[in-house]
Amino acid sequence: MSGTLALTEQLIARASVTPDDQHCQQILIERLAPLGFACETIESHGVTNLWAVKRGTDGTNGKLLAFAGHTDVVPTGPLEQWRSPPFVPAIRDGKLYGRGAADMKTSLAGFVVASEEFVAAHPQHRGSVAFLITSDEEGPATDGTVKVVDLLEARGERLDYCIVGEPTSTATLGDVVKNGRRGSMSGKLTIKGVQGHIAYPHLAKNPVHLLAPALAELVAERWDDGNEYFPPTTWQVSNLHSGTGASNVIPGHADVLFNFRFSTASTVEGLQQRVHAILDRHGLDYDLQWTVSGLPFLTPHGELSSALEKAIRDETGVTTELSTTGGTSDGRFIARICPQVVEFGPPNGSIHKIDEHIDVAFVEPLKNVYRRVLEQLIA
């Protein structure tokens, strides 16, 4: 068994469901500290975060490459549906099964072993390498990476490169790398009407009827055309609720939950203004509360993406596609203090599913790609 696979299994065996780290980060610290990493644990409301850094010989003038990721995993779902216990790593037919195998404990193990091999081969490396690890990525993400970024920003710490170990590959290892993500903004809209008897509509105001024309306009609106890296911004209703449950009562209000997934072609302020303009144009009496859970970020093709593409090609022979599809990630926080943030990890076909797994054949190549990037950028 390879060292990377052994460490992956050790991490999978910890039932680290958000936000409980289950001492996974301590396992990482025990591997990193002997290499010369200064390890700092940052706790916030039950969330455990790790910032570990090993400075290069260039000191503060050298480039800093950070590996970022999370030790937490999503709940298992019905245990009886798993072919083997989710927190007992099992290899069957060339695949490693267990919760977190793909998302993202194999990446964490790859980060660590790649760093060990890199430091052994380049003890006088010029640049610096760091780890930014949280136990709050799969949950609210309010006490995890964002707290570490706030702390680093307050200290004036800047990162030059960051690789987030999210499972980005699709058909095979290395075919997709994320160089950005769309932003996410939600709205909670309440349309106010007047409740009344359904037989006397002239004495009431039906909020559903009032909403309908504005809703049709919001659905039909083209918010932007996207750009070179992003598809057009989308607006989707996730929930619409009204009524008392009785068939003879006109409701007094209608509640709508909706979400924008938006690109760098639009802004938070611009999208909000356009929604309000549509609602106002239809003369609606309403309340609207906004929540921005993440801003879009984009890393144009540059040093980091080029180094990663070359490492993947040299290790696997695969040609990489840069993509910004999918949901949000902690890269949205890290982009505040790092100009080049990309995500790369194993295939994502089984993430969050029953019998989550990774092909064992991908474990060592994943680690080797991470090591090759270190060698290109900070050796």
Identify the active-site residue in 21, 72, 138, 309: 72
Given the residues 21, 103, 137, 330, the one annotated as active site: 137
Residue 198's alpha-carbon distances to 67, 173, 190, 193, 194, in angstroms, are 60, 60, 21, 13, 11
- Determine the pLDDT at residue 326: 84
Instruction: Please give the structure tokens belonging to residue 171.
Output: 């058909």
pLDDT at residue 272, as a whole number: 98
pLDDT of residue 50: 98
- Looking at residue 62, what is its pLDDT? 87
Residue 159's Cβ-side half-sphere holds a number of Cα atoms within 13 Å equal to: 32
C-alpha–C-alpha distance, residues 356 and 288, integer Å: 39
Q: What is the pLDDT of residue 61?
A: 73
Which stretches in the chain have pLDDT values below 50?
Answer: none
Give the model confidence (pLDDT) of 125-162 as tens digits. Answer: 999 999 999 999 999 999 999 999 999 999 999 999 99
Q: Is 175 a catalytic residue?
A: no
Residue-wise pLDDT for 91-123, tens only, equals: 999 999 999 999 999 999 999 999 999 999 999
| Residue 25, CA atoms < 13 Å, CB-side half-sphere | 25
Is residue 39 within 8 A of residue 54, CB to CB? The reply is no
Residues 6 or more apart whose Cβ sits within 8 Å of residue 61? none
- Clarify whether 72 is annotated catalytic: yes
pLDDT for the residue 59 = 74
Model-level pTM?
0.89
Closest CA relative to residue 99, chosen from 72, 135, 122, 117: 72
Cα 193 to its chain centre, rounded Å, is 39
